[in-house]
Amino acid sequence: MTRIKTISPAEATGKLKEIYEGLIASRGKIAEVHKIHSLNPEALRSHMDFYMTIMFKRSPLKRVQREMLGVVVSVTNNCEYCRLHHSAALHFYWKDEKRLQSLWAGYENAGLDKADRLLCAYAVLLTREPSSAMLEKVVDELKNAGFSDTAIHDATLVIAYFNFVNRMVNGLGVEVEEDYGGYNY
């Protein structure tokens, strides 16, 4: 049970109903993280627009890398809701449950290539120590590994987004649905 009131799809009217219907059409179903915004439909619309842009639009980062970053940030923040949701998405690409469990335990042992390990290191550092002097070094390492400035920018957006959502979900007590997978990836 969330810590605040939410409006279910069956109770929704007006703008909220329209947004919920759009989410079902584009994502396949409505998640609890969507419902947490039900008291402020414009926040929900803005949230989903931003999410769809950073996670699905054209980027030098692959979709699988963006999901991987979401999982790493969520593990770092101990956000069970986002860890499970985005692990389901990552599993859609990896199709390897053992590898996912290794990622949960620490990206260093998840069989990632050097570039993806660097992305994960950046995600952990930016999440734990957002003003660390080490960030310049890690960004330089990303550049040396072939990541463009646009790729680094997009990675930073994904990392920042998941830090935002993890805090919203944990702060408001959003619970994991029984069936948290099966969205349109």
**Region 63-172: CATH code:** 1.20.1290.10
Which amino acid does the sequence have at 144? N
Supply the pLDDT for residue 158. Answer: 98
Average pLDDT over residues 147-163: 98
Residues 113-153: tens digit of each pLDDT: 999 999 999 999 999 999 999 999 999 999 999 999 999 99
Q: What's the whole-number average pLDDT of the chain?
A: 96
Average pLDDT over residues 89-98: 96
pLDDT band at 185 (very low <50, low <70, confident <90, very high): low
Cβ neighbours of 13 (radius 10 Å): 8
What is the Cβ-side half-sphere exposure of residue 43, based on CA atoms within 13 angstroms? 10
pTM for the full predicted model: 0.94
Domain ranges of the chain: 63-172
